[in-house]
Amino acid sequence: MRIQTLAFAALLAAAPVASHATDKIVHLTFDNAVKAATASGKLDGSVKFYLAGNAPSGDVSVVDDNVDVSRKTNGFGKRSQVSCDWVLQSVLIALQDDAKKAGANAVIDIVSNYDGNEYRDAQNYECHVGFLMSGVELKAKLAKVH
């Protein structure tokens, strides 16, 4: 019982330090997470996703040019890649739902926009990893591609 009490006291002493830990910013491959979400059935494939710098082929008409989705997930004890891909999939599901409601079949010009700080990359997304949480925020446009 004494060992459990000491372990609990050590955990409490470390909590303030951990709660003030600075987020680590990681950049991970966007397509891998999209493929995994599609393969698992979380995304149904009816909506395509294009990071800024990648354009769909065909005629594009923008339906909504100001979409912003932010999600966080439990990152405690998980590798950054695992928690970040998980939270990105949650953001993509929300974007897919928004696109379908708007009659769009594509999400284009996707950029990371965590706390209003834009990160553009044609292959990677940005994820903020903290002691307890991982977060992704994307801004994009919903479009119909013909």
CATH architecture of the region 22-145: 2-Layer Sandwich (3.30)
Secondary element (H or E) of residue 19: helix 2-19
For residue 78, what are its two tokens?
């998980």
Sorted by where each begins, the domain ranges of the chain are: 22-145
**Residues 6 or more apart in contact with residue 49 via CB below 8 angstroms:** 30, 34, 92, 95, 106, 107, 110
**Eight-class DSSP state of 105:** S
Question: What is the reported pLDDT for 1?
Answer: 59
- Look at the alpha carbons of 82, 86, 91, 97 in this order and tell me if their dihedral is positive or negative: positive
Rounded CA separation 141/129 (Å) = 26
Model confidence at 11, in pLDDT bands (50, 70, 90)? Answer: very low
The pLDDT tens digits for 101-120 are 999 999 999 999 999 999 99
Model confidence at 17, in pLDDT bands (50, 70, 90)? Answer: very low
pTM for the whole structure? 0.84
The pLDDT tens digits for 43-86 are 999 999 999 999 999 999 999 999 999 999 999 999 999 999 99
Residue 111, helix vs strand vs coil? strand
Question: What is the reported pLDDT for 23?
Answer: 82
Amino acid at 64: D
The β-bridge relationship of strands 48-51 and 133-145 is unpaired
Give percent of the chain with pLDDT exceeding 70: 85
